[in-house]
Structure 1
């Protein structure tokens, strides 16, 4: 059968980061569209330069999905030039529960984040909201495949709800266990699973904490009986490794973007599963 789309049409949906790409792939399953990942999982979404090939991807895309300026500030200009085919937080945000960045009351930070926290996909409820909103957007783009997109979204929602129930049961015994993180990128997960987040050591995880901060961490560990510290795998743990060993704290990674996971439809599931397992391992140790 000859497609109603011209040969010039690419039928591509370009997605900036791996978690959104994974969820987009679920919506597009068995459709005429394919999801293309703009940034590999080793690239920082905060400060990168687009290659000519990536600019062509964006130019040829039928739709561009991104997390927004609070995560991908270097894309703001080019996204503003392609507003007619951009699907961002402004379009799907109403389907999500969005939190502002948390204020770090415990430690002096090198700078404070402003605006909304972009890591919304770490909440299973938000993941479902995003997928439903994208299915609606794709249905408007291609009404002929409307039922396929909506059915794919329903399948995703059912699977996520089932998984979330299991993860909640697994973490339920530990909701009072206090923990700290190197960098605060996980509040959506904290809220959904009712976890006892105490503080983030730094706004910028690439900077070593100063002597004053180390003293305050020591005081916090003692007063709150902290036994777990988490850091993202893409950042060096060297700035806090000595402190962790000295205090005999449990240390595991939490991953917000799938840094060590193969991109694709299963990434979002592997990402959530891995984080839940690492939380459980540290809390139960």
Structure 2
């Protein structure tokens, strides 16, 4: 006897089929998620070079967003949990990731600040104050930074970037040993390109090494020390907090006395306070982008990032 399907059972079958399709789609999305997840875009530049042709790289923070005072979203938490390898600076900068990363096994994490060779290169606040030639940190910016704390903007050091690449290579090699030849080749190419670019940028920056300037916040210590630049100081330690009146008066005095040729703002933070302080002086206004906003993740993106930052310095200081 032939059994006829009722309209209700047909609808039920369609509903089940639709639900199964959704589950399959979600499964495909999950498996397609990045094998390497970096906290910040510049770390994504380094990871993309090492993982080129092997596995994708994604960045946790949206483009142009600063890690200072960032709040982790549920989608970001899921990204951290599902990634094969998470690369971050460490708890000294991305406090919003600390709990989530602590739950991952060590072989799935690269903590840049914890790399033994990097520890020896960390700059303290005292190091930076001795490097600056003008205004020191009077700590009146309203933050809790102490002199013994480290500058955690580690990706701005070409030397630390190389050590980071080596650490990422080692972790990926552990996770996928069958890709050894490609990983080795990628690391060699990254190191070679970085060495050549470093020499070129050093020559570009040499003519402006003695020229004084102010930056918006203290992100650039490693880059400045590496290339022998002459910062006079910065407006604030924490870019989320406006500098105090005494700091602004000190900066204004130096600008009036023409001790600085440039004041740099940032794409993420364009405070009116910089324009107000520089108004009526001969100082030029420039922009530095410490996060490489808009630069695509490719095998050459880190050296492109350094080159772009160098051009921003030179265009204002030269």
> Of 75, 78, 83, which residue of structure 2 is paired with 1:61?
83
> Of 276, 280, 297, which residue of structure 2 is paired with 1:264?
297
Shift of the alpha carbon at 1:91? Answer: 4.6
Shift of the alpha carbon at 1:219? Answer: 2.7
Contact 2:289–2:309 (Cα < 8 Å) also in 1 = yes
When the two structures are superposed, what TM-score results if normalisation uses the length of structure 1? 0.87
Contact 2:153–2:219 (Cα < 8 Å) also in 1 = yes
**1:247 and 2:281 correspond:** yes
- Distance, in Å, in 2 between the alignment partners of 1:116 and 1:69 is 12
Point out the structure with max Rg over C-alpha: 2
Change (3 A) 1:134 1:221: same
Q: How many residues are matched? A: 276
- Distance, in Å, in 1 between the alignment partners of 2:174 and 2:240 is 42
Where 2:58 maps in the other structure, the secondary structure is strand
Residue 47 (structure 2) aligns with:
24
Change (3 A) 1:90 1:238: closer
Contact 1:95–1:133 (Cα < 8 Å) also in 2 = no
What pairs with 1:6-21 in structure 2 (closer than 5 Å)? 12-21=35-44
Residue 5 (structure 2) aligns with:
none
Contact 2:215–2:235 (Cα < 8 Å) also in 1 = yes
- Distance, in Å, in 2 between the alignment partners of 1:167 and 1:220 is 28
Residue 174 (structure 1) aligns with:
208
> Of 90, 94, 98, which residue of structure 1 is paired with 2:122?
98
Shift of the alpha carbon at 1:263? Answer: 3.8
Contact 1:46–1:74 (Cα < 8 Å) also in 2 = no
What pairs with 1:196-235 in structure 2 (closer than 5 Å)? 196-222=230-256, 225-235=259-269
Change (3 A) 1:53 1:210: closer
Contact 1:250–1:282 (Cα < 8 Å) also in 2 = yes
Residue 3 (structure 1) aligns with:
none
- Distance, in Å, in 1 between the alignment partners of 2:71 and 2:250 is 37
Contact 1:208–1:240 (Cα < 8 Å) also in 2 = no
Contact 1:174–1:195 (Cα < 8 Å) also in 2 = yes
When the two structures are superposed, what TM-score results if normalisation uses the length of structure 2? 0.79
Where 1:201 maps in the other structure, the secondary structure is strand
Contact 2:91–2:98 (Cα < 8 Å) also in 1 = yes
- Distance, in Å, in 2 between the alignment partners of 1:138 and 1:223 is 53
Contact 1:112–1:203 (Cα < 8 Å) also in 2 = no
Superposed CA RMSD: 2.3
Shift of the alpha carbon at 1:207? Answer: 4.0
**Structure 1 unaligned blocks of 5 or more:** 1-6
Shift of the alpha carbon at 1:134? Answer: 1.2
Contact 2:217–2:238 (Cα < 8 Å) also in 1 = yes
Where 1:182 maps in the other structure, the secondary structure is strand
**1:74 and 2:106 correspond:** no
> Of 125, 148, 152, which residue of structure 2 is paired with 1:118?
152
Shift of the alpha carbon at 1:180? Answer: 1.3
Shift of the alpha carbon at 1:131? Answer: 0.7
Residue 222 (structure 2) aligns with:
188
- Distance, in Å, in 1 between the alignment partners of 2:244 and 2:114 is 41
Shift of the alpha carbon at 1:224? Answer: 6.8
Partner deviation per Cα, 1:217-274 (whole Å, 9 max, x = no partner): 1333356711111122110231120221221211111111123x24412442332222
- Distance, in Å, in 2 between the alignment partners of 1:263 and 1:155 is 18
Residue 89 (structure 1) aligns with:
112
